[in-house]
Chain A
Amino acid sequence: MSTTSPPASATSARSTAYRPSAAKRAQVWLANHFAILSAILVLLYLFLPVAYTFAFSFNDHGKTNIVWQGFTWEHWQDPCGVPGVCGSLVTSLQVGAISTVVATVLGTLMALAMVRYRFRGKSASNVLIFVPMATPEIVMGAALLTIFVQGFANIGIDLGFTTIVFSHIMFCLSFVVVTVRARIQSLDPRIEEAAQDLYASPMQTFWKVTFPLILPGILGAAMLAFSLSFDDFIITNFVSGNENTFPKFVYVASRRGIPAEANVIGFSMFVIAVLLVVGAQFVSSVRASKVKE
């Protein structure tokens, strides 16, 4: 090399020259910790209602569960003790499972088409996928209600479980497409070319290379779809008829005071979901460290 590095003394002289003043450093320190401190406050704010939900699951309440009246294990011992609450939970889980599977399959296929192919009508398809996400839920709920009442009822499909599932698949679909599409786009197309170059037919290329690589995206999309479906109230409220989902049960009950059993179930769902997510993270990090050894 024809260039030589500057002598060490010059380097250190430069770093002293650039060292910020004490006041400046204090300011920087404060700025750094401002972000972290406010982040912690925001996280506490996010958890506050969850803490309330948890606390009031132990409330020994009478007719309404609004004001603290005393501690009891009663609601945790029999979460299904209130009529309808566990039925609505089962309905929500069923709706969530079916909608997630269908929306994830259809959405993944669409995402593959959108990234991997050129075709007439691609930008129209893009709009069709985007607009449902930009439409307020209440408008979708209203529109679905009119078509179900005025159209589907005539062919024997009344408001209920089926119409809830149809609607949930619809609004989950766009979110699945967007999530999976991002994953496929981040995939180096050369990796698929390499598979073909190494004698993999298009089918083998998909199942041996493409699919395993986009699987995390598909699983993420499925999780998103399930949580959207499980927690949806506004659209469900329009299209459910007499069927009760868990959010709908809670909403209806909220007028008289939500029974603490609902808090038990709501908080348990929270714990299960967090354990699943943390567990998945833990498994993947253990797997990664195992490979490193």
Chain B
Amino acid sequence: MTALAHAAVDPGADPAAPAPRATKRSWTAYVLLLPGALWLGVFFLLPLVQLASVSLQSRYPGFPGYYYRDVNLDNYASALTDYAPHFARSFLYAGLATLLAFVVAYPLAYAMAFKAGRWRNLMMICVIAPFFTSFILRTFAWSQILADEGWVAGTLNFLHLLPGGNIINTPVAVIAGLTYNFLPFMVLPIYASLERADPRVIEAGGDLYANGFTTFRTVTLPMSMPGVLAGTLLTFIPAAGDFVNMELLGPQRGKMVGNVINDQFLAIPGGYPVAAALSFTLMAAILVMVFLYVRRFGTEELV
């Protein structure tokens, strides 16, 4: 009797038996992998190597746009000193945008996972759909919405809630733009991890802790942590490297590092070495942050 009852619960998994996901060892793997890996090698790794070598080159004095192969760390020194405020702004704005995106995205992801019912698919489409309109068009629309003549600034001014008198061309507009543009990257991973969670666990949490906020903090949030982690990275990384929001919504002075790299490469003759050094510094800084962040809130689900 007990044996049968036990058997009915245990589906008879054979844990010590070989995992049926028996992976094969064969040359086929390399054949399948090769074209894609080659592509990433030629168009991702090789360009990075080239960029690294450019970042160490020196300029010919007096010949803008010409430089020679060298091992010159001055470019990095200049990147870190002259442009330190730009880095600081990039990370500050991206960090604030990530935080705001989290605050805005979480209730939406939560509602989609637990409250939407049969509207779930429709909500999913609604989250993705705005992103079928061009990124630049939407950002430009924000510049219209936040413009001095627009209703947002008008209303706030009328209520005397806007000390500077305008939103457009301020860091606030830049952060708002960044938050908006990368929001789905926050919503979708959080939704995915909440959807996998068992709502009964949250109900049990609600049973154990009277306070709804305590339930959220001790049960719901930890369960969605892998999604939050992925979402913050997917938001922060592109936001830190972005220059379009600053260009379309931000002030004339006090740019972000993305703008500097863009200008140095495309507008300033002979800007390549410093721009390359800036790019490398940005990438290194982000990789270090990602590494520390993942180690702190660790999960293997990212890779």
> CB within 8 A of B47: which of A32, A43, A116, A143?
A143
Task: Establish whether residues B29 and A113, one from each chain, have CB atoms under 8 Å apart when the complex forms.
Answer: yes
- CA–CA, A293 to B286, complex, Å? 54
Q: Does A66 sit within 8 A of B, measured CB to CB?
A: yes
Given contacts A106-B35, A142-B261, contact A118 B107 (CB under 8 A): no
Which residues of chain A come closer than 8 Å to B143, judged between CB atoms?
66
Which residues of chain A come closer than 8 Å to B66, judged between CB atoms?
none
Task: Establish whether residues B30 and A119, one from each chain, have CB atoms under 8 Å apart when the complex forms.
Answer: yes
Given contacts A125-B37, A147-B50, contact A27 B127 (CB under 8 A): no
A113: min CB distance to chain B, Å: 4
Task: Establish whether residues B33 and A234, one from each chain, have CB atoms under 8 Å apart when the complex forms.
Answer: no
Give the interface size bracket for A toward B: 35 or more
Q: Does B262 sit within 8 A of A, measured CB to CB?
A: yes
Task: Establish whether residues A117 and B23, one from each chain, have CB atoms under 8 Å apart when the complex forms.
Answer: yes
Q: Does B89 sit within 8 A of A, measured CB to CB?
A: no
Q: Does A126 sit within 8 A of B, measured CB to CB?
A: yes
Q: CB-defined interface of A106-141 with B at 8 Å, one 1/0 digit per residue?
A: 110110111111110000011111111011111110
Give the most central of B143, B238, B283, B287: most A CB within 10 Å.
B283
- CA–CA, A106 to B32, complex, Å? 8
Q: Does A46 sit within 8 A of B, measured CB to CB?
A: yes
Given contacts A110-B36, A113-B32, A262-B137, contact A67 B244 (CB under 8 A): no
Q: Does B229 sit within 8 A of A, measured CB to CB?
A: no
Pairs A–B under 8 Å by Cβ, sample size 21: A39-B107, A39-B108, A39-B110, A39-B123, A49-B130, A109-B33, A110-B36, A113-B32, A117-B24, A118-B24, A119-B25, A135-B237, A136-B283, A137-B241, A138-B282, A142-B275, A142-B276, A147-B51, A150-B54, A227-B131, A233-B135
Chain A contact residues: over half helix, strand or loop, or mixed? helix
- CA–CA, A2 to B4, complex, Å? 14
Task: Establish whether residues B282 and A170, one from each chain, have CB atoms under 8 Å apart when the complex forms.
Answer: no
Q: Does A266 sit within 8 A of B, measured CB to CB?
A: yes
Q: Does A204 sit within 8 A of B, measured CB to CB?
A: no
Task: Establish whether residues B180 and A49, one from each chain, have CB atoms under 8 Å apart when the complex forms.
Answer: yes
- CA–CA, A238 to B290, complex, Å? 25
Q: In the complex, what residue of chain B is closest to A123 when comparing beta carbons?
A: B303
Q: CB-defined interface of A22-53 with B at 8 Å, one 1/0 digit per residue?
A: 00100110011011101100110111111011
15 further A-B pairs in the complex, CB-CB below 8 A; given A35-B114, A46-B127, A143-B279: A42-B105, A46-B126, A49-B145, A50-B141, A56-B141, A66-B147, A110-B32, A116-B29, A118-B29, A119-B30, A136-B241, A136-B258, A142-B261, A142-B275, A146-B47
Task: Establish whether residues A107 and B36, one from each chain, have CB atoms under 8 Å apart when the complex forms.
Answer: yes
- CA–CA, A140 to B237, complex, Å? 13
Given contacts A42-B104, A53-B133, A113-B29, contact A139 B248 (CB under 8 A): no
- CA–CA, A35 to B212, complex, Å? 13
Q: Which residues of B contact A (CB under 8 A)?
A: 1, 20-26, 28-30, 32-33, 35-37, 39-41, 43-48, 50-51, 54, 104-105, 107-108, 110-112, 114-116, 121, 123, 125-145, 147, 149, 180, 183, 210, 212, 233, 237-238, 240-244, 248, 258, 261-262, 265-266, 272, 275-276, 279-280, 282-283, 286-287, 290, 302-303
Which residues of chain B come closer than 8 Å to A11, judged between CB atoms?
none
Q: Does A190 sit within 8 A of B, measured CB to CB?
A: yes
Determine, out of A74-82, A209-217, A272-280, the stretch whose residues face the partner at the interface: A272-280
Task: Establish whether residues B20 and A193, one from each chain, have CB atoms under 8 Å apart when the complex forms.
Answer: yes
CB-CB contacts below 8 Å: A243-293 with B: 246-247, 250-251, 254, 258, 262-263, 266-267, 269-270, 272-274, 277-278, 281
Q: In the complex, what residue of chain A is closest to B280 when comparing beta carbons?
A: A139
Given contacts A50-B130, A138-B258, A147-B50, contact A38 B44 (CB under 8 A): no
Q: Does A144 sit within 8 A of B, measured CB to CB?
A: yes
Which residues of chain B come closer than 8 Å to A84, judged between CB atoms?
none
Q: In the complex, what residue of chain A is closest to B286 when comparing beta carbons?
A: A136
Task: Establish whether residues B44 and A132, one from each chain, have CB atoms under 8 Å apart when the complex forms.
Answer: yes
Which residues of chain A come closer than 8 Å to B128, judged between CB atoms?
277
Given contacts A129-B40, A273-B129, contact A52 B144 (CB under 8 A): yes
Which residues of chain B come closer than 8 Å to A137, judged between CB atoms?
238, 241
Which residues of chain A come closer than 8 Å to B116, judged between CB atoms?
39
Task: Establish whether residues A145 and B265, one from each chain, have CB atoms under 8 Å apart when the complex forms.
Answer: yes
- CA–CA, A145 to B41, complex, Å? 16
Q: Does A225 sit within 8 A of B, measured CB to CB?
A: no
Give the most central of A2, A32, A251, A274: most B CB within 10 Å.
A251
- CA–CA, A43 to B124, complex, Å? 10
Task: Establish whether residues B129 and A281, one from each chain, have CB atoms under 8 Å apart when the complex forms.
Answer: no
- CA–CA, A143 to B279, complex, Å? 8
- CA–CA, A145 to B43, complex, Å? 10
Task: Establish whether residues A66 and B26, one from each chain, have CB atoms under 8 Å apart when the complex forms.
Answer: no
Task: Establish whether residues A109 and B265, one from each chain, have CB atoms under 8 Å apart when the complex forms.
Answer: no
Q: In the complex, what residue of chain B is closest to A33 when comparing beta carbons?
A: B115
Task: Establish whether residues B132 and A273, one from each chain, have CB atoms under 8 Å apart when the complex forms.
Answer: yes
Task: Establish whether residues A42 and B107, one from each chain, have CB atoms under 8 Å apart when the complex forms.
Answer: yes
- CA–CA, A137 to B121, complex, Å? 30
Which residues of chain B come closer than 8 Å to A170, judged between CB atoms?
39-40, 43-44
- CA–CA, A44 to B121, complex, Å? 17
Which residues of chain B come closer than 8 Å to A266, judged between CB atoms?
133-134, 137
Given contacts A39-B107, A109-B33, contact A246 B132 (CB under 8 A): no
